Amino acid sequence: MLPGSPEFLVAAHRLEQLPADEGGEVAFAGRSNSGKSTALNAICASRGLARTSKTPGRTQQLVVFALAPGSRLVDMPGYGYARVSERMRRHWGQALGDYLIGRRSLRGIILIADIRRGLGSGDRQLVALCASVGRPVHVLLTKADKLGRGRGLTAQRALQAEFPGVGFQLFSGRTGTGVEQARERITAWLLEGIKKGPGV
Ligand SMILES: Nc1nc2c(ncn2[C@@H]2O[C@H](COP(=O)(O)OP(=O)(O)OP(=O)(O)O)[C@@H](O)[C@H]2O)c(=O)[nH]1
Ligand SMILES: [Mg+2]
């Protein structure tokens, strides 16, 4: 169970537009079209909350949802989408890096990766950046409905062996596989923040 029910708070083009940096936040990151918004909706059990699309590049802002006072989820724009202008790409590369490094209330990153593709170069950069600043990362290997369970588990084990410091799990926004496990991870991060006090 998540701590509270989600409500849209703000869509930020720039980091200054984000809510005050206090309490706890969990961000959903990943390649464009990997299924970030779909995962967020499944985890929140709210189909229309974050906008999803067949077209990559749908989410172009940091979209913030409040779960309870001081507990937030953030849907991030995806990386690796070729048709975003160079200027936008630079803007976002910089902004996402600054957010991941500097946001004090950020308790952890849920990285969404298509299980059939594994971790791409953008994902690996994100994992390395998070490791360098001590941010925990938990990967949802999504679209697991597209692979048999056996092949899914094999992919999960291979990635787990390659990245021992990162958590991996099978996930599908379509069938509900792994939704409860992801909720438990997020809730634990958010509650950890509350125990420590705001902004710690
Ligand atoms: N089969 C299957 N399709 C999925 C799953 N999750 C997402 N999709 C599909 O993948 C496409 C992209 O989903 P989104 O949730 O919009 O992806 P996103 O990562 O938020 O995309 P951007 O905001 O554009 O970066 C949509 O067509 C979804 O229906 C899943 O678990 N299984
Ligand atoms: Mg999206």
Q: Which of 31, 32, 33 to mutate to test the pocket of ligand 1 (most atoms within 8 A of CB)?
A: 33
The residue range of the domain holding 121 is 7-196
Domain count for the chain: 1
Pocket lining for ligand 1, CB < 6 angstroms: 30, 32-38, 52-54, 56-59, 78, 142-143, 145-146, 172-174
Mean pLDDT of 11-18: 91
CATH of the domain at 18: 3.40.50.300
In a domain, 156, yes or no: yes
Q: In sequence order, what DSSP letters do the residues of 57-70 get, joined into one string?
A: T---SEEEEEEETT
The CB-based long-range contact list for 2-5 (8 Å cut-off, 24+ gap) reads: 2/43, 2/44, 2/67, 2/183, 2/186, 2/187, 2/190, 3/67, 3/68, 3/71, 3/187, 3/190, 3/191, 4/66, 4/67, 4/68, 4/71, 5/44, 5/46, 5/67
Res. 195: pLDDT tops 80:
no
In a domain, 92, yes or no: yes
Closest listed ligand to the CA of 53 = 1
How high is the pLDDT of residue 189?
96
Atom of ligand 1 nearest to the CA of 53: 16
In a domain, 146, yes or no: yes
Among the residue ranges 9-13, 93-97, 100-104, 166-170, the one predicted with the least confidence is 93-97
H-run or E-run covering 130: helix 121-133
In a domain, 2, yes or no: no
In a domain, 1, yes or no: no
Percent of the chain's residues with pLDDT above 70: 90
Mean pLDDT of 60-88: 83
> Which residue's CA is the closest to the ligand 1 atom numbered 9?
35
pTM of the predicted protein model: 0.92
> Which residue's CA is the closest to the ligand 1 atom numbered 13?
35
